Structures are given as structure tokens and as C-alpha cells.
Homo-oligomer: A and B are copies of this chain.
């Protein structure tokens, strides 16, 4: 019996079950009773589809060779995926961008004092892992988007290179002028590597080295690869140093797509490219430097890492020379966009996508996600073929150039921005995954809906996904955490105001990240052996896409947004050290509370509408959904955030100093953190306007819902 006939049997069974349950339909956010019933039938079909063996087969096929952005192999893998999507009945486009992309030249890093030691910038193959023998096409140790040139100077240890670390150095009177800063990866709040370099440069550093410390990413955490999942002394984390919190994507086309005819700015003018020579190294190599970085007192307690020596800040006596060449070219970036046209509101798009390009083979990051997403596509395709075409268009995508920092997705968002702002309902990001904890970052307006949906999805343990989620964090509320940056949702939420989600399982082998050792073989041991989590995730994402694409009324719930704002305002009071913002924060809180009232009212109106006869209801749905979508857009401000106008969304953004970690209410918060009270008040005014806009839109939606339900047009909508 083949998979197809199994699926057909299961589909028939699912339809029969749907009929049996027709008397007692469970409610489903945004659906009328009939709609919910139809949706459940579709989901029963879809759940039978995702298949571990097929996922493994695809996973194997696109992890055979290194496939960094711009490489021939990465183009071949794009064609492979496009063909797969086509075979499932999707309309597939391959969109190309020409992006200013560096590959490493002939780089050299050496200790020059007190002895001469040349550092190794390549990773040796591991006999236990034959995949790691594929070193052809594997870039050596490399920091993308950094300065070129020759520098030599004394070394200074800057801990994680967080803003608080640099500020401590400032207070201690440690100057970085003419020095080479060595920072370790990681630190909380989660810190992008480029920020470590940017802030060193601002303080006069002439070079920057970032390494993985064994305390954070190596033997201190557990056994190292291949014995365990943690980073071996020979492995390093390649990475882009692009200044994402300024703007992601092609550094030469901020705000515009890298297509023919679009003007490029001069590389020297690109604010997102780091200025000083920079490299990443392994801790095996870093130890050769740090053992001689012993001047002065021992570093502060929290600065001690896991290497067998007492960490010192220096400077020196260790001296280091760096020779960094960057081979910049306009290299091709290929996005694969697969669409399945909606039946009623076809211009409206629900999208799930992840990237395809990898630092080396990228079995976990990102290919695990790509393989799982193809099973999601197959599930949806199966349901559609059996008559369950959703009212809106579903898109699945394979981004390119994410690792160099969000190149493909950003250029896509910038190219199609006007349409996406108007028509994209939700963007879901599906990156790498592992057999670990479930989590969802995203907009609060989707929190209630996400919880409901995970109650209808299953976890490999046999529990519902929601129950497993609760069990894994018994002392924390289930909540959607605010999105920062570091993956392809950035252009959607931050630049366009498209509500975004990052649902998926985490876990896996953190210690092979961005290294030669992120292989198919490693994934079979430490990723998702048996692909059970991948199957669960494929099914869950299929349900999420299908519900969002099929709901009568889009399931946004804006009391949660108001509560989010109120919670964060409460938190901001702690930053109001001079008592300057008391009135301003109180005013914002009053506005958010007012918006909350309107949302309560709108929720009631929409429930009434969903329970009302289809005739009047269906007429208002397209316009109503437009209003419901509009509310999140109301929280964008075209003036953008201070220092970085590309960022338009006022409820969350990657921190200017963190990159990965989110700053909530970022305009107000970051101004307050730096005690710029006038700026904070100005930003608060922007936020206040946005809350007013949102409140107005919510009220319009409520009025329209009442109208559709035939309710008295004169009812209070306050």
C-alpha cells in the first residue's frame, strides 16, 4: 500500500468523522460553525500526510554539499525545491536579486607577541562523520560584512561585547584606541555579533575577533561533537556582522530591492557594514591568544569564561596581527515563492517560509526547517486536492542569503512592500528546528489564536501540543514573546507591519551552528532522530496556515495587544529614574486602556457576526478583514525609529545594541534607557498617535461587524 492510497483512506475516514461530529461543533476563532466544521475536516486529512521517511529523504538531498548564498549548489537546491512545490500543484516563482556579497579572501590572523603563532582558520574533518569530509565549498573562518586591511595591535578582552560590557570598560578607563578587541559569542540579552564589533570600533578599536567560549558553547555545557552536541575546540561559528538593527538586506539598497535599475549607494556609505577587519575563531585558537592576554588585574567575575586560565582584560601583553580580505561581488540571491491561490480573497496572503542558504551544509540550520516545510506544503496540497481550497492565498517560501543577514526576505519585502502591507495577513517564519521545546514568538494579537490552535495540534509525546507546551514551562505563563531579529520575519514585522510568528521546536546541536559539523550525520544523532518533531511541526504549521487562510474573520484579538502595551508601559516606569515620564506614561496607559475597551466591544460584535446568517455576513467579510488587518499596520510609523528609520513598527524591534533580543515599545524604551527624555516624549507621541489610529480602526471594524450582523446601526461602538 503506498502513501497516496493511505492518505485517501484516511481522508475518507476524516470526512466520516466530521459528519458524525456535525451535531456538536467545537468553536474555532474566526470561523462560523459551518466554517469550523469544514476546517476540521480539512485538518483531519492534512494530519495524515506529513511523513518522516520522506522528510529524511528530502533532508538528505539538500545537505549533500556546502551551499552558501551565491554558490552554484545553492541555486541547484532552489531549483530542486521549486520542482517539488510545482509537483504539489503550487504556482512557483524564482525571484532573483543581485546583492553586494563578500566571500572571504586570503585571511590571516597571528599572535605576534610574546611569541609568533599563526591561527588556524579552517575546520578539520572528523573521521566519525563522513559528511564533514565535504570541505570543498566550505568557507573558512569568516565574518561577513566587515572591514578589509592589515592591522596589528595589543589585544583587549571585552567579554560578550555587550553595551554594558563596553560601558564597564569605559568606567574602568580601559581604552580600545589602536587595540584589537576580542569578544566571546553570546551573552544575555541575546547579542548579535555585529554589535560587538560596531561598539568596539566606536571606541577606537582597529580590529575585532569573536570566538565561541567553552563556557557558553563548548565542553563546559556538555560533551562536544562528535561525542555530544556541543562545540568542539576546532569548530567556529561563521557569521554575518551586518548591522541588522540599522537595516538588514543588501547594504547598498536600503529600503529598495536589489533588482536591475535600482540605484546602489557606495559601499563606504553603507551604514550596515562594519568598518574594521574582523574574524571569528574557535576556542582552540582563542586559547592561544588569551593565555598571553594577562596584563593587569583579573577580569571581573562575570567575565571569566571556560578556558583553563584566568581571564584578563589587558591590554596585552598579547599582540595580534590581522590580514582581512573581502572578495565583494554582486552575487545572485534566489528566493523560491510557491503560491496556492485563494478562492474568495485571493489577493490576501498567508505565508510560511524559511531560508535555504547555509554556512556550510547546514543540516540543522536551515535545512531541517526546509524539509519540514515541504511536508506542510504536501499536507495543504492534499487537502486542497480534496476540495478544501481556502478563501485566501497560501504562500510557502525558500529564502536565500539569510545567513548573510536576511538578504532574500528583505529584498522581497522591499520589492513587494506596497502589496504586502495591504494584503499579507500573517508571515510565519520556519527556520531550523530540533527535537526540543516548543515555542512561538510573535504579535500578541495572535496569542489567543495560537493557544487555541496548539490545543488542536499534537506533540510527539502524544499530548496535545498545548499541553506539552505548558508542561515544559510549568512556572511561566504561555505567551508569545516579542520578536527581535535574526531571521527572515524582520522585514515583515519591522518594516511593513505584517503580523509575524516564529512557531517551532528548538533544541538540537547548538555546538555545530554555522560550522562544518552541522551535517546530516550530526542531525541524525542530535537534531531530530526519526523526524517525529518535524512531522508534528509540519502538521501544526499546515493547520495554522489553513486556519488563517480559511477563517471567515481573521482571528486577531486586540485586547491582548492593549494588555501587551500596558504591561510594557508598566515595565518602563522602572526606567523613569528622573520622574520625567510619569505623565507621558500615564497618558499612554489611558490610551491603551481605551483601545482595550474598543477591542472588547469589537470582539463581541465579531462573535455576533459569526453566529449570524451567512447572507449578510459574507458581504461584509472582505472589508471587515481588511480593517482587522489594518490595526497592526496602524502601529507602524513612517518616520521610523530614531537612528534607524527603516524600522517602522512601534511595538517591538531588535534592540539597537542587541540585534537579536527584542526591545518592546522600542522608540520610547531606548530613549529612556539612554535618558534622552525629550526624545522619549517625542517617541511617546508617535506611539500615542498609533494607539489612536488602532482604536479608530477597531471601532470601524466593530461597526461593520454589527452592520453585517444586522444589528442596530446606532449601537454604541465605544
**Smallest beta-carbon distance A53→chain B, Å:** 29
Residue of B nearest to A224 (CB): B310
Against B, the Cβ 8 Å flags (1 = close, 0 = not) of A209-249 are 00000100001111110011010000000000000000000
- A308 to B214 Cα, complex, angstroms: 8
Q: How far is the CA of A223 from the CA of B228 in the complex (A)?
A: 31
**A309→B298 CA distance, assembly (Å):** 22
Question: How near does chain B come to A151, taking the closest CB pair, in angstroms?
Answer: 29
The one of B223, B304, B307 that contacts A308, using a Cβ cutoff of 8 Å: B307
Tell me if A104 is interfacial: C-beta within 8 Å of chain B. no
Q: How far is the CA of A307 from the CA of B215 in the complex (A)?
A: 11
Interface centre among A298, A306, A309 (most CB of B within 10 A): A298
* Minimum Cβ distance to chain B for residue A403 (Å): 28
Write out the residue numbers on chain B whose beta carbons fall within 8 Å of the beta carbon of A222: 298, 310
Contact with B along A663-697 (1 / 0, CB 8 A): 00000000000000000000000000000000000
| A221-B310 Cα distance, complex, nearest whole Å | 7
Complex Cα spacing A706 to B298, Å? 61
A214→B227 CA distance, assembly (Å): 24
Residues in chain B near residue A219, CB distance under 8 A = 308-310
Q: Which residues of B contact A298 (CB under 8 A)?
A: 222-223, 228
Q: Are A308 and B306 in contact (CB under 8 A)?
A: yes
CB distance from A228 to the nearest CB of B (A): 7
State A220–B299 Cα separation when bound (angstroms). Answer: 10
**How far, in angstroms, from A298 to B229 measured CA to CA in the complex?**
11
Could you say which of A220, A304, A307, A309 has the most chain B C-beta atoms within 10 Å of its C-beta? A220
Contact B307 A223 (CB under 8 A): no
Q: Determine the chain B residues whose CB is within 8 A of the CB of A220 once the complex forms.
A: 304, 310
The proximity string for A residues 161-201 relative to B, scoring 1 for CB distances below 8 Å and 0 otherwise, is 00000000000000000000000000000000000000000
Q: Report A303 CB to chain B, min CB distance, Å.
A: 11
Expressed in whole angstroms, the Cα–Cα distance for A298 and B225 within the complex equals 13
Q: A364: shortest Cβ distance to chain B, in Å?
A: 20
Which residue of chain B lies nearest to A298 when distances are taken between CB atoms in the complex? B222
Contacts of A224 in B (CB 8 A): 310
Complex Cα–Cα for A224 and B311 (A): 11
CB distance from A283 to the nearest CB of B (A): 9
A491 nearest CB across to chain B (Å): 38
Residue ID in chain B nearest A299 by CB atoms: B222
What's the Cα separation between A190 and B227 when bound, in Å?
34
Please, which residues of chain B bring their CB within 8 A of the CB of A308?
Answer: 214, 219, 306-308
Q: Give residues of chain A (261-315) contacting chain B, Cβ–Cβ below 8 Å.
A: 294, 298, 304, 306-310
A83 to chain B, nearest CB (A): 43
In the assembly, what is the distance between CA of A298 and CA of B222, in Å?
A: 6
The CA of A221 and the CA of B302, in the complex, are separated in Å by: 10
Q: Which residues of chain A (144-169) have a CB below 8 Å from chain B?
A: none
- Bound form: Cα–Cα A294–B224 in Å: 12
Q: Hey, which chain B residues are within 8 Å of A307, CB to CB?
A: 308
Q: Which residues on the B side are within 8 Å of A294 (C-beta)?
A: 227
> Which residues in B have their C-beta under 8 angstroms from that of A309?
219
- Alpha-carbon separation in the docked complex, A640 to B128 (Å): 62
Question: Measured between alpha carbons, how far is A223 from B294 in the docked complex, in Å?
Answer: 9
Distance, CA A534 to CA B387, complexed state (A) = 90
Kindly provide the distance from the CB of A298 to the nearest chain B CB, expressed in whole angstroms.
Answer: 4
Q: Which residue of B lies closest to A228 (CB)?
A: B298
Q: Which residues of B contact A310 (CB under 8 A)?
A: 219-224, 228, 230
What CA separation (Å) do A294 and B228 show in the bound complex?
12
- Residues of chain B contacted by A230 (CB below 8 angstroms): 310
- A630-658 contacts to B (CB < 8 Å): none
Q: How far is the CB of A294 from chain B (nearest CB, A)?
A: 8
C-alpha gap A309/B283 in the complex (Å): 13
- Can you list 16 A-B pairs, Cβ within 8 angstroms, ordered by A? A214-B308, A219-B308, A219-B309, A219-B310, A221-B310, A222-B298, A223-B298, A223-B310, A227-B294, A228-B298, A228-B310, A230-B310, A306-B306, A306-B308, A307-B308, A308-B308
A220-B304, A223-B298 provided; 18 other pairs, C-beta below 8 A? A214-B308, A219-B308, A219-B309, A219-B310, A220-B310, A221-B310, A222-B298, A222-B310, A223-B310, A224-B310, A227-B294, A228-B298, A228-B310, A230-B310, A306-B306, A306-B308, A307-B308, A308-B308
